[in-house]
Amino acid sequence: MNKIFEIPLYPYTRSPDQDATTPVRHKVMIVGAGPVGLAAAIDLAQQGVPVVVLDDNDKVSFGSRAICFAKRPLEILDRLGCGQPMVDKGVVWNLGKVFFGDRKVYEFNLLPEEGHRRPAFINLQQYYFEDYLVARVRELQEQGAEIELRGGNKVLDVTDMGDRVQLNVQTPEGPYTVETEWLIACDGAGSPIRSMMGLDFVGRVFEDNFLIADVIMDADFPTERWFWFDPPFNKGQSALLHKQPDGVWRIDLQLGWDIDKEEEKKPEKVIPRLKQMLGDDVEFELEWVSIYTFQCRRMEKFRHNRVIFAGDSAHQVSPFGARGANSGLQDTDNLIWKLKLVIDGQAPDRLLDSYDDERIYGADENILNSTRSTDFITPKSEISRLFRDAVLDLSEHHAFARPLVNSGRLSVPCIYDESPLNTPDALPGGPARTRPGAPCPDAPAGNGYVLDRLGGAFTVLTIDAEAPEQVAENGIEAARVALSAADDPSGALAERYLGDNPSAVYLIRPDQHVAARWPAYDETAVRAAIRRATAKE
């Protein structure tokens, strides 16, 4: 049987660009057809910007890789028209168990907040995730969108020509030269584009190796996240068991530093380890095995004139906390609307610098969280291990110690508090979670949800407030979405957007982050906030 990740999804075909006498110039090209590159391409295509995606491969990701997708990325996928198949296929989980040595020390329920369309997390293999994104690309192509996937296209070199970027691309039929006004590099942590441009990628390498295995088994383990510190089957190390769709289980085993990677990956080495963990009587089949060493590092700047880095190419984190693919999707969510406005001449080029401001802030937050998790999971000194073990021992008996247990702080979107695009908060006593810079939290509204109504353009959201149906400032149009606290009998809408105020008016960016808010509509203030959110003042 062919696995989904063994089937070529976008095999190489010859492009007319390869026969052009002078290099063809595109609007936007993306290197890398992983989750981040595909999401960026779909976003551009939906907004009517022609885009070409190059990838040296022609298949979805090999093995499960990123498996945990958080609420905010799912909401972004809803805007990209492909959230539903992901959620339908994905495994929703809420319960986690923590083991220390041979005993369970405690369990926790994520207790997701009510009143959101999307769950806190789903588990879904990266290959499915990419497969659904490719399906969405095909759907857009059928609708006439100019979005092209070129498999078997490997970028050999990249030259900044000032007003454009020139690429030399290798194909099975030889190389060709092509130009693009903008290049988005989504070519992963080992980014060849970054190397070709001689750019830095600095941070901390953790001296540890993890074995990850996708195992197919008919086991009655519940749909929970199980995390072991120092388990009997992997002494002195850690282990994670997580359920994915199709009876596939993801197992992560910490191996330590001084190991022979090739040796440890061999089935005759892996299977006995897994048997120790799962028990001798559990039947299982190995689907995929890999060993990774992780690092926390980022580029100093993500934007380099007309080459913009997004996802792992720009920043890399440890996998604990699911902050890799999740933050990459937030990168493109942040970038694409800005690029669209700049391409259309509706915003100055410097709007793209705010991508650096906001996403570097996000990357630093992710790196901080993931570094702390890693320090807890793999203590680097005797005293660090002493406190780690003390926390785990106490967590079995006393609730106070449980928040100190850190097996990964799961991805939540960051609030761009310092963003130059924010207008200072003008809603006294407004909820902190919807302050300027924050991503709009979902809430019930009538028969649907708030985020369904926001779409992907500037929006004036009014809650029990009057406002014109449309405001246009310097080419930027913001349509009004009118809601009332009465639209949500549960009270979540009022709690999340009004606080103690009887009414509120929000200016929402196309990426559904709050740009500004007031108690009532003030046209001068709204216009100024639009200018500010588009880097015009």
Residues that bind other proteins (CB under 8 A): 386-387, 389-391, 393-394, 398, 400-401, 404
Query: Which residues 6+ apart lie within 8 Å of 64 measured at CB?
Result: 125, 126, 127, 212, 214, 244, 248, 250, 288
Full strand arrangement of the beta sheet holding 238-244: 103-109, 95-100, 224-229, 238-244, 248-256, 202-217, 284-298, 315-316
Least spacing, CB of residue 394 vs other proteins, in Å: 6
Tokens of 92: 């929703």
Between the two ends of the chain, the Cα-to-Cα distance in Å is 59
State in angstroms the smallest separation of the CB of 164 from other proteins: 52
Q: How far is the CB of 380 from other proteins (least distance, A)?
A: 16
In angstroms, what is the minimal distance from the CB of 403 to other proteins? 10
CA 301 centroid distance within chain? 19
Shortest gap between Cβ of 32 and other proteins (angstroms)?
42
- Phi–psi pair at 436, nearest 5 degrees: -55, 135
* Nearer CB in complex with other proteins: 3/398: 398
How near is the Cβ of 317 to other proteins at its closest, in Å?
26
| Of 266 and 398, CB closest to other proteins | 398
In the numeric block, the tokens 């809603």 are attached to 427
* Pick from 191, 412, 213, 415: nearest CA to 322: 412
Residue 394 CA to its chain's centroid (Å)? 34
Distance from CA of residue 262 to its chain's centroid?
30
Task: Give me the least distance between CB of 266 and other proteins, in Å please.
Answer: 36
DSSP secondary structure, 5-26, as one string: GGS-SS-----GGGG-SS--EE
Give how far Cα 10 sits from Cα of 13, 18, 430, Å: 9, 17, 49
Closer Cβ to other proteins, 389 or 522, answer by number: 389
Smaller CB distance to other proteins: residue 14 or 398? 398
Q: How many Cβ atoms sit within 10 Å of the Cβ of residue 236? A: 10
Nearest CA to 171 out of 155, 192, 148, 160 is that of 155
Query: Minimum CB separation from other proteins for residue 418, in Å?
Result: 22
CB 237 within 8 A of CB 230: yes
Q: Which residue number, 402 or 453, has a Cβ lying nearer to other proteins?
A: 402
Q: In terms of CB distance, is 146 or 389 closer to other proteins?
A: 389
Choice between 392 and 529, CB closer to other proteins: 392
Query: Please, which residue, 104 or 398, has the CB nearer to other proteins?
Result: 398
Residue 488 DSSP class = -
> 198 CB contacts (<8 Å, ≥6 apart)?
none
Which of 390, 486 has the CB closer to other proteins?
A: 390
What is residue 349's DSSP assignment? G
Provide the minimum distance between the beta carbon of 391 and other proteins in the complex, in angstroms, as a whole number: 6
| CB nearer to other proteins: pick between 20 and 390 | 390
